[in-house]
Amino acid sequence: MDNLSDALKKLKITATDSTADSLEGCLDCLLQALAQNNMETSEKIQKSGVLQVFASLLMPQSSCTAKVANIIAEVARNEFMRNPCVDAGLIPPLVQMLNCKDQEVLLQTGRALGNICYDSHEGRNAVDHAGGAHIVVDLIRSLCSKTDPASEKLLTVFCGMLMNYSNENDTLQSQLINMGVIPTLVKLLGIHCQNAALTEMCLVAFGNLAELESSKEQFAYTNIAEELVKLFKKQVEHDKKEMIFEVLAPLAENDVIKLQLVEAGLVECLLEVVQKTVDSDKEDDVAELKTASDLMVLLLLGDESMQKLFEGGRGSVFQRVLSWIPSNSHQLQLAGALAIANFARNDGNCIHMVDNGIVQKLMDLLDRHVEDGNVTVQHAALSALRNLAIPVVNKAKMLSAGVAEAVLKFLRSEMPPVQFKLLGTLRMLIDAQAEAAEQLGKNAKLVERLVEWCEAKDHAGVMGESNRLLSALIRHSKSKDVIRTIVQSGGIKHLVTMATSEHVIMQNEALVALALIAALELVTAEKDLENAQLVQILHRLLSDDRSAPEIKYNSMVLVCALIGSESLQKEVQNMAFLEVVSKLRSHENKTVAQQASLTEQRLAVES
C-alpha cells in the first residue's frame, strides 16, 4: 500500500511531463492494487484527486491510454466511483478514444464506459451528451461480420456497454432503436451464435429493448424469430433457455412476430419442453413447464397464428393442447383451458369444438375444481365455455350437455374473477333460449346471489354482469314466474339503477326488461318501481339531449306501460311528461318521432 501511495503522488505531480516509462510503472502499481483490493484502492484513488489527472492521460498517441482506461473500468465497478468519474470529466476523452484503431484501447474504453453507465443516471447522461452510443453502434456495425476472437471480445464488451447505457431507460432505449441497433444485433446473433458470451449479451440487450412497442415493429422486419428458435433448439441448460424465453415473451405480444415464431417452429419446441418437464417436480422443470405453456397460450392470442395452429380442428398442436386438459398438472390444465378459450374466438372454431366433445372435457375439469379448487383453472375453464357459447347453434347443445348446472356449482365462489366468468357464461347460454332463461330465472338461489352481486361496488365487472344477467333472464324468458322471483328477491331496484348506466347497451337492456315487467306483472312490481323512482329517471332520460335514440324510444314504451298503474300514472302526470314527449315528435330519428306521437296520444287520453 505504501507503493500505491507513492504511485498516486508521483502520478499527480509528474503526469504532465514524466516519461512514459515512469508513468507505466505508476499505472501498473494501481492495477496491481486494484486486483488485490478493488474497493479500498478505489477509495484511495478518489481521495488522492488522481481521477482528474486521468483525463489528460487519455490521448490517442499515448502508450498508456489502454492502462488508464483499464484503471477507470476497474474503479467504476464500484457504485460510489461512478459519479466521481463523471465529475472528473472522464467521459468526453473516453468517448474520443472510441475512434482509436488500437483493439486494447477500444476494449478497455468500452469496459470503462459500460461500467460508468451501470445503474448511473449521471454516467448515462454524460455518455449521451458526448455522443458515445452513436459511435459504439457504428463500431458494432463495422465489426459485426468479423469472427476472430479479438473482434468477438470487442463486440461482447460493446453490447454490454449499450445494455448498461439503456437498461430500464425508455428514452435511451428509443434512441438506440432510432439508430437502427435492432437489425444489427439480430445479424450479430446469427453470425456469432457459437460464441456463448456474445450470444448472451445479445439476448440481454434484446430483453432490454423488446419491452418497447416501437422495438417490436423493428424486430418484425428482421429474422429474429428464426434466430431465436434456432438458438433455443441448441440449448440444454435451464438458465440459457430461460434467457431466450425472457426475450420471446415480450416479442410474442406482437401479432406479426407471433406468426413468425409459429412459422419458425417455436410451437414444436414448446411442446417438447412440456413433454420433458410435465412429470418432474424439480424447480427448474416446473418453471420451464410454466413458461413454455404460458408462451404457447400467448401465441394463440394472434388471430393468424391461432388459426394456423387450429388447422380446422385437425392440427396436431390443437390435439396436443386438448390432451393438457385432463392432465394432473394444474399448470397444464390452466394452459389447456386458456388455449381453448383462445381457439374459441370465431364461430367456425367454436362450432367444430362443441361438435367434437370439448364441452365435456371442460365440465370434467371444472368438476375437479369445485371443492377448494384452483381459482385460475376455474376462471380459465369458464372463459372457454363462455366463448364456446357465443354461436347461436352451440347454445342449445351446451345447455342439453348440462353446462348451466356445471356452472351453477360455482355460485358459492367468493372470487370475483370466477363470479365474473360464471355470470358471462350463463348470460351467453340463455341468449334467445326461452326455456333455459325461465328455468334459471325461477331458481331463487341464483336470483338471490345475483341481487347480492348487484351491490358488489368493489368489483364493477361483477356488478355489471349481475345486472345484465338479471335483465337477460326477463328479456329471454318473458315469464311472469321469473319476474315474480326477481321482485321477491329485491332485484327491481337494480334494474332501475341499470337504466342510468353510462353504457348505452346496459341502459337499453334494463329498459326492455322493465317494459316487460310493466307489461306482464305491473301490480307485483308497482311498489318497487315507485320506491326506485323509475318515473323520475325516465323523465331525466327523455329530457337529456345526450340520450341515444334507442334509449328515448324504450323510455317512452316504458312510460306507456307504467300508465296501467294508478300510482305510477299519477307520478307521470305530476312530472309534465307531455311537454317533454311532444318535443320529441320532431326528433331526427323517425322511430323516436313516431313513438313520441303514440306516447303523446296515450298520455293525453289518460290525463
pLDDT at position 306, please?
92
Instruction: Centre a 10 Å sphere on the Cβ of residue 166 and count the other Cβ atoms it contains.
Output: 25
Residue 458 pLDDT level (bands cut at 50, 70, 90): confident
Cα(21)–Cα(542) distance, integer angstroms = 95
Query: Mean pLDDT throughout 429-434?
Result: 94
Per-residue pLDDT tens digits for 317-334: 899 999 999 999 999 999
pLDDT (average), residues 390-414: 95
The answer to whether residues 563 and 520 touch, using CB atoms and an 8 Å cutoff, is no
For the chain, percent of residues with pLDDT exceeding 70 = 98
Query: Could you report the per-residue pLDDT of 584-599, keeping only the tens digit for each?
Result: 998 999 999 999 999 9
Residue type, 553: Y
Instruction: Tell me how far apart the alpha carbons of residues 70 and 223 are, in angstroms, rounded to a whole number.
Output: 36
Band of pLDDT at residue 21, cut at 50, 70 and 90: low
HSE-CB at 228 with a 13 A cutoff on CA atoms is: 33
544: its cell numbers: 337529456
Mean pLDDT (whole number) for 69-90: 95
| Cβ-Cβ contacts under 8 Å for 243 (sequence gap 6 or more) | 200, 203, 204, 207
With 90 as the cut, is the pLDDT of residue 574 above it? Answer: no
317, 271 Cβ separation under 8 angstroms: yes
CB 467, CB 494: distance < 8 Å? yes
* pLDDT greater than 60 at residue 16: no
* Residue 540 C-beta-side C-alpha neighbours within 13 Å: 10
Q: Please give the Cα distance from 369 to 570 (Å, whole number).
A: 54
Per the CB < 8 A criterion, the answer to whether 576 and 538 are in contact is: no
Class of residue 127 by CB neighbours under 10 A (exposed 0-12, middle 13-18, buried 19+):
buried
**What pLDDT is attached to residue 56?**
86
Q: What SS3 state is found at 12? A: helix
How many other C-beta atoms lie within 10 A of the C-beta of residue 247? Answer: 23
User: What is the tens place of the pLDDT at every residue in 189-244?
Assistant: 999 989 999 999 999 999 889 888 889 989 999 999 999 999 999 888 888 899 99
**Among residues of the chain, what percentage have pLDDT more than 90?**
75
The pLDDT value recorded for residue 247 is: 92
Distance CA 57, CA 50 (A): 11
Closest CA to 472 of 539, 536, 395: 395
Helix (H) or strand (E) holding 173: helix 170-178
- Long-range (24+ apart) CB contacts under 8 A made by 304-309 are 304/255, 304/258, 304/259, 305/255, 305/258, 305/259, 305/261, 305/262, 306/342, 306/343, 306/345, 307/346, 307/349, 308/259, 308/262, 308/263, 309/262, 309/267
Q: What is the pLDDT of residue 1?
A: 46
C-alpha 209/C-alpha 181 separation (Å) is: 10
Q: Rounded mean pLDDT of 423-435?
A: 95
Q: Which three cell numbers stand for residue 196?
A: 456463448
35-49 pLDDT per residue, tens: 999 999 899 888 888
Please tell me the predicted confidence (pLDDT) of residue 411.
Answer: 93
153 vs 105: CA distance, rounded Å: 13
| pLDDT score, position 2 | 57
pLDDT tens-digit readout, 530-566: 999 999 999 999 999 899 999 999 999 999 999 888 8
Average pLDDT value over all residues in the chain: 91
Instruction: Measure Cα distances from 515 to 230, 366, 434, 440, 499 in Å.
Output: 63, 37, 17, 20, 11
Q: In the prediction, which pLDDT does 314 show?
A: 86
Strands (E), 191-269: none
Give the list of residues 6+ apart from residue 521 with CB closer than 8 angstroms, or none: 480, 483, 484, 487
What's the Cα-to-Cα distance from 49 to each of 8, 45, 46, 90, 120, rounded to whole Å?
9, 7, 6, 13, 21
**Residue matched to cell numbers 449521451:** 128
Task: State yes or no: pLDDT of 450 exceeds 50.
Answer: yes
DSSP label at residue 413 = -
Q: How far apart are CA 517 and CA 525, in angstroms?
A: 7
Q: Which residues contact 596 (CB under 8 A, 6 or more apart)?
A: 556, 581, 582, 583, 584, 585, 587
| 532 neighbors 492 (Cβ within 8 angstroms) | yes
186: left (phi over 0), alpha (psi -120 to 50) or beta: alpha
The pLDDT tens digits for 133-167 are 999 999 999 999 999 999 999 999 999 999 999 99
